[in-house]
Amino acid sequence: MDVRDELVQTYRWLRQYGLNDSHSGNASVRAGEDIWITPTGACADTLEVDDLIHGKLDQLPPAGASLDGALHWLSYRRNPAARAVLHSHGPHSLAVTWAGEDFLPPRL
């Protein structure tokens, strides 16, 4: 399966399993120096491979890329072993923020 097909499938699963609503979160995948990312305002129910935005690791995220594209690019640059970045809005994360607490991910 092409990495772009896997990205679309995974983005749909995030919605299917309640980790995003239809238009929240974003996802990207890296293959060498190529990065594909969901576009701004992507809908998990209708996203297709041709909707993905293509960019290069050594460039800025291209126009139309998710608004969090810069975070994805930085993640890949700082962790060369990373092959995908998934940004979801799972219920536990949302509950923490609704309670007025800061969410601090564990340090690796």
**pLDDT digit string, tens, across residues 38-75:** 999 999 999 999 999 999 999 999 999 999 999 999 99
Residue 63 resides in a domain: yes
Residue 55 resides in a domain: yes
pLDDT exceeds cutoff 90 at 93: no
Q: What is the pTM of this model?
A: 0.85
Residue 105 resides in a domain: no
Residue 103 resides in a domain: no
Residue 104 resides in a domain: no
Give the pLDDT band of residue 97 (cuts 50, 70, 90). confident
Residue 47 resides in a domain: yes
Which CATH number characterizes residue 56's domain? 3.40.225.10
Residue 48 resides in a domain: yes
Q: How many domains does the chain have?
A: 1
18 is in which domain, residue-wise? 3-98
Residue 45 resides in a domain: yes
* Strand extents, DSSP E, 1-108: 26-31, 34-37, 53-56, 84-87
Phi, psi of 98, rounded to the nearest 5 degrees = -65, -25
